[in-house]
Amino acid sequence: MTSTSLVTAVNDLVEEFAVSDKVLNDSVNYFVEQSVHGLAETADSSARGLPMIPTFVTSVPTGEEKGTFLAVDLGGTNFRVCSLKLNGDSTYDMVQDKAPIPQELMVGNCSDFFGHLADRIQQFLETHHSETISCAFEEEGAGKPVLFKMGFTFSFPVDQTALNRGKLIRWTKGFDIKDAVGKDICLELQNAIDARNLPVHVAALVNDTVGTLMSRAYTKPSDGRTLIGCIFGTGTNGAYSERIKKIPKFDAQAHPEVTEKIMVINTEWGSFDNDLKVIPNTRFDKQVNENTPNKGFHMFEKRISGMFLGELLRLVLTELQSKKLLFTSGSGNGKLSVAWSADSSVPALIDGDSSSDLSLAGNTIKEAFGYETTLEERKQIQRVARAIGKRSGYLSAIPLAGLIIHTKALEKFDKIDIGADGSVVEFYPHFQEYIHDALRKTVIGDDEKRVAIGIAKDGSGVGAALCALVA
């Protein structure tokens, strides 16, 4: 039997995690206001507003691009090296190697970290390109022949000063290599590559959302205009193209090489509303923030993305246990009291269990925290997991609606396409449904039907290659 007090406590929690229409609409309005503001204001490490970073990418692909490129991708827990052949007909061939980044390097020092990345590039070239290296790109007149042009997908906030130059503003998603902050990330990688005498030129620095936008436009899976590339994975962020005359902080005269009329903007929307003027702030959100290295920043991301959903669930369950409403017998495996012990697959699997006895949810809880549960307890835990996931989906609609309104896209195009990537949007139960529901509750209303969200695979590989091509 579940105690009525557990049900009552969960009722309150579900209410606390609900996003009201007012919060949704106030947040969309604030996002539109903040994007205009961010386009005018330089994003350095002390700025708290929406960064809105000009990326120096000035065109979106047509699908006819051709060539072979290297791409490396550093975004969350893995480092991926790939070579891509763009066939010029919206298709591509890719070879890739992927490996987790050793935890100690994620919080170590800059030179060990970039040395490790260059070692991985070297291994990849030795494995996959020892024969073909000579057929790749050659640049005449340079000191040493540059064989491969490489796109570097680096999915952290960077103040970009050229297509292949940019200083790290701050780390997110648990990385904390202190002496890398403020350094030019491309130069660091290029130096490590040169120290190993590898024939690789880092031609473009690409945020994963920019890569997603580019690859979605290249592969053209839908008939709508691709407006936004976004990630809902370990972290969250989005990119879109803006008219240069609407970016007051971009000094076009200082960059005569930029002759196009548009530029892709990396919004870094994970940092939306760092001052918590409109987004929800429960006691659980406060605890999550306290436990992160980037305290007070990326506050929007901390309510939405995969890195935080399991932790939010863990904190709620800990509170229910401390009130003696749950896990009152047995001692568990100790992980309930360990911060970050549950990743987003824990709430996702609990939420997604549709069996009558919620056995999958039960096994997931047992595996994550070591406790046996009754069916009634599992039902209540599932309600909590669902409330956390639903809030994440609803909040995710805010920047999408904000950018659709800001760009007046619904007035310009019949259909709008949004390319999305990341474990949360791909696997979290009902996530896309929640985004659509929430979009409908904004001023977009029924026009939400004209907005299609599609999974854009390989954004950080294909997109980086496409950026290396324009370099």
| 170 classed as catalytic | yes
Determine, following the binding rule CB under 6 A, whether residue 348 of this chain makes contact with ligand BGC.
Answer: no
Task: Kindly state the smallest distance separating residue 172's Cβ from ligand BGC, in Å.
Answer: 3
167 binds ligand BGC (CB under 6 A): no
The count of residues interacting with ligand BGC (CB under 6 A) is: 18
Interface with ligand BGC, residue 268, by CB under 6 A: yes
Q: Given the complex with ligand BGC, which of 207 and 215 has the nearer CB atom?
A: 207
- Residue 102, phi-psi category: left (phi > 0), alpha (psi -120 to 50), beta (remainder): beta
Q: Does 201 bind ligand BGC (CB under 6 A)?
A: no
Q: Residue 149: what are its φ and ψ, rounded to 5°?
A: -90, 135
Q: Nearest approach, Cβ of 463 to ligand BGC (angstroms)?
A: 12
35-41 LR contacts (CB < 8 Å, sep 24+): 35/267, 35/402, 35/403, 35/406, 36/406, 38/267, 39/242, 39/246, 39/247, 39/248, 39/249, 39/265, 40/248, 40/249, 41/249
Exactly one of 207, 226, 318, 407 binds ligand BGC (CB under 6 A); that residue is 207
Residue 38 in the binding site for ligand BGC (CB under 6 A): no
- 8 A C-beta contact, residue 314 and residue 333: no
Q: Can you tell me which of 68, 83, 172, 396 binds ligand BGC, judged by CB under 6 A?
A: 172
Q: Is position 153 an interface residue for ligand BGC (rule: CB under 6 A)?
A: no
What is the radius of gyration, based on Cα positions, of the chain?
23
- Strands 451-455 and 416-421 turn out to be parallel
Kindly identify the residues of this chain, within the stretch 408-437, that bind ligand BGC according to CB under 6 A: none
Distance CA 414, CA 436 (A): 17
Q: If you count DSSP H runs as helices and E runs as strands, how many of each does the chain have, helices first?
A: 16, 13
| Cross-strand partners of 262 | 243
Nearest to residue 263, comparing CAs of 282, 239, 283, 281?
Answer: 239
Secondary structure, 3-state, 339-369:
CCCCCCHHHHHHHHCCCCCCHHHHHHHHHHH
Instruction: Kindly give the pairing relationship between strand 78-87 and strand 236-243.
Output: unpaired
From the candidates 83, 155, 344, 392, which is the catalytic residue?
155
Q: Given the complex with ligand BGC, which of 229 and 362 has the nearer CB atom?
A: 229
Known catalytic residue at 208: yes
- Minimum Å gap between C-beta 169 and ligand BGC is 9
- Which phi and psi angles does 217 have, rounded to 5°? -70, -35
Q: Does 273 bind ligand BGC (CB under 6 A)?
A: no
> Among 158, 165, 332, which residue's Cα sits nearest to residue 239?
158
301 binds ligand BGC (CB under 6 A): yes
Length of the chain as a residue count:
471
Among 159, 188, 208, 351, binds ligand BGC (CB under 6 A): 208
75 near ligand BGC, rule: CB under 6 A: yes
Alpha-carbon distance 431 to 422, whole Å? 12
Structure tokens at 399: 């920047």
Mark the segment that binds ligand BGC (CB under 6 A) among 31-39, 87-95, 149-157, 429-437: 149-157
Report in angstroms how near the CB of residue 302 gets to ligand BGC at its nearest. 10
Stretch that binds ligand BGC, among 130-138, 153-161, 354-362, 430-438 (CB under 6 A): 153-161
Interaction with ligand BGC in 227-256: which residues (CB under 6 A)?
Answer: 231, 233, 235-237
- Please answer whether residues 463 and 151 qualify as being in contact, where contact means their C-beta atoms are separated by less than 8 angstroms: yes
- Decide whether 268 or 351 has the Cβ nearer to ligand BGC: 268
Q: How far is the CB of 425 from ligand BGC (least distance, A)?
A: 11
Q: Which is nearer to ligand BGC, 233 or 429 (CB)?
A: 233
Complex with ligand BGC: residue 272 or 394, whichever CB lies closer: 272
Does residue number 393 form part of the binding site for ligand BGC (CB under 6 A)? Answer: no
By annotation, the residues acting in catalysis are 155, 170, 208
Q: Residues in the site for ligand BGC, rule: CB under 6 A?
A: 75, 155-157, 172-173, 207-209, 231, 233, 235-237, 268, 270, 298, 301
